[in-house]
């Protein structure tokens, strides 16, 4: 087995050190690790066993982490450490009422977390985990075989992941602690990106593990470590918003919709239609991209808020559809402007701006 474990970054020599020595080549040319393997009493063992064990461990790590985290959250709910459904709540908790300690001491009084609700929330989290695995796999596999350009697969995943997750939020119960179950979904994907970013891709590792496939599908340069940049920030924003805003207020929903659909469509459309209409102050971005940003952000925010209020997952906002549309359009336009500022990463500048604007305009 490998003493490197799962979490250590692979240096370019990692793959070489784990490959079988080439026929007719002195083992010393293969590096000290391979030489040590060849010199060891078990040198008749196939050195590829190291990869097999490593891959086996990797394959088990995500399901084992999912099982462990869902069991721990379920136990916390059954032990009534997590609050159950709010009692006599007349409206959503005030802004920041749920954060940062709101999960454990919510601003509204809550009833017990009944076992049936625990079962419902654990099952809903499983559905989302399976959905995320299926969805990401459906995009990364064709990208791995070159049928989709990695830039497009990255942005399709970027555009659809957060909205699809939010569409499934009504599956969860109205228990206050349901957000802890839902948070397991982005947390697991953060771990998956970490494994993808530290587990190879730029070092000649053509492994078909789903993490390597993911790293290749979302890398623009071919460097697997890109998974630890924008994609990791995206998933952390999703985790933060699920845990602290959840579906109690439109703040989290609007910031996620803007980050996902606004920024994602700006790239997908801008790269195709933007070459002739670049902004004069930022030649790398286009008016077509910004128009797609506004349209994507507005439609996703309006659609997701309507979906959540219609299913009863979110309390009505007390605004007419016309008022809501006007305010969401204003948020989308300002955030499209923020996306044009060439400072920082728009995976946090855009959702933070959208959160402040929607706290002001919608809460």
Ligand X SMILES: Nc1ccn([C@@H]2O[C@H](COP(=O)(O)OP(=O)(O)O)[C@@H](O)[C@H]2O)c(=O)n1
Least separation, in Å, of the C-beta of 92 and ligand X? 31
Q: Which does 234 bind (CB under 5 to 8 A by kind): ligand X, ligand LRRJ3J73, none?
A: ligand LRRJ3J73
Structure tokens at 190: 């953060």
∠ CA 71-76-77, rounded to 5°:
95
Q: Which does 211 bind (CB under 5 to 8 A by kind): ligand X, ligand LRRJ3J73, none?
A: none
Least separation, in Å, of the C-beta of 130 and ligand LRRJ3J73? 8
Q: Interhelix angle for 230-244 vs 250-257, to 10°?
A: 160
Q: Which does 165 bind (CB under 5 to 8 A by kind): ligand LRRJ3J73, ligand X, none?
A: ligand LRRJ3J73
Q: Per CB under 6 A, which of residues 184..223 are in contact with ligand LRRJ3J73?
A: 185-186, 189, 193, 218
Applying CB under 6 A, which of residues 131, 137, 170, 303 lies at the interface with ligand LRRJ3J73? 131
Q: Interhelix angle for 321-340 vs 346-361, to 10°?
A: 150
Applying CB under 6 A, which of residues 139, 157, 314, 332 lies at the interface with ligand LRRJ3J73? 157
Burial class (CB in 10 A: 0-12, 13-18, 19+), 50: buried
Q: Please count the helices (runs of H) and the strands (runs of E) in the chain.
A: 13, 0
Least separation, in Å, of the C-beta of 240 and ligand LRRJ3J73? 12
319 touches 327 (CB < 8 A): yes
How far from chain centre, in Å, is Cα 160?
A: 10
Give contact residues for ligand X (rule: CB under 6 A).
Answer: 230, 263, 266-267, 270-271, 274, 284-286, 289-290, 293, 339, 346
Q: Does 135 bind ligand LRRJ3J73 (CB under 6 A)?
A: yes
Cβ count near 193 (within 10 Å): 24
How far from chain centre, in Å, is Cα 28?
A: 43
How far is the C-alpha of 254 from the C-alpha of 335, rounded, in Å?
11
Q: Does 291 bind ligand LRRJ3J73 (CB under 6 A)?
A: no
Question: Residue with structure tokens 């064990």?
Answer: 53
Site track for ligand LRRJ3J73 across 71-110, x = CB under 6 A: ----------------------------------------
Applying CB under 6 A, the residues found at the interface with ligand LRRJ3J73 are 128, 131-132, 135-136, 154, 157-158, 161, 164-165, 168, 185-186, 189, 193, 218, 230-231, 234-235, 238, 263, 347
């Amino acid at each position: 087995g490998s003493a490197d474990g799962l979490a250590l970054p692979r240096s370019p020599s990692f793959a070489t050190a784990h490959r079988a020595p080439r026929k007719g080549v002195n083992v010393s040319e293969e590096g000290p690790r391979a030489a040590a393997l060849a010199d060891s009493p078990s040198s008749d063992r196939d050195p590829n066993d190291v990869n097999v064990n490593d891959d086996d461990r990797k394959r088990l790590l995500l399901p084992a982490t999912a099982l462990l985290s869902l069991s721990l959250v379920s136990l916390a709910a059954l032990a009534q450490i997590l609050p159950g459904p709010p009692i006599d709540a007349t409206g959503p908790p005030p802004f920041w009422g749920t954060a940062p300690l709101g999960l454990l001491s919510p601003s509204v009084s809550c009833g017990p977390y009944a076992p049936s609700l625990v079962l419902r929330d654990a099952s809903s989290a499983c559905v989302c985990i399976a959905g995320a695995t299926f969805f990401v796999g459906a995009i990364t596999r064709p990208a791995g075989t070159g049928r989709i350009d990695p830039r497009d697969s990255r942005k399709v995943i970027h555009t659809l992941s957060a909205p699809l997750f939010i569409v499934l939020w009504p599956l969860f119960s109205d228990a206050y602690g349901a957000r802890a179950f839902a948070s397991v979904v982005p947390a697991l994907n953060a771990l998956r990106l970490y494994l993808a970013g530290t587990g190879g891709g730029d070092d000649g590792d053509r492994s078909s593990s789903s993490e390597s496939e993911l790293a290749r599908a979302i890398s623009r340069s071919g460097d697997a470590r890109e998974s630890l940049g924008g994609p990791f920030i995206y998933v952390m924003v999703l985790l933060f918003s699920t845990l602290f805003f959840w579906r109690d207020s439109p703040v989290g929903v609007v910031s996620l919709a803007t980050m996902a659909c606004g920024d994602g469509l700006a790239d997908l459309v801008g790269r195709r239609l933007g070459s002739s209409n670049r902004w004069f102050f930022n030649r790398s971005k286009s008016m077509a991209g910004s128009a797609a940003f506004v349209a994507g952000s507005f439609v996703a925010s309006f659609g997701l808020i309507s979906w959540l209020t219609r299913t009863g997952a979110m309390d009505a906002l007390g605004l007419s559809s016309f008022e809501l549309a006007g305010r969401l359009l204003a948020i989308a336009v300002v955030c499209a402007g923020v996306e044009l500022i060439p400072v920082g990463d728009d995976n946090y500048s855009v959702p933070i701006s959208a959160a402040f604007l929607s706290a002001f305009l919608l809460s």
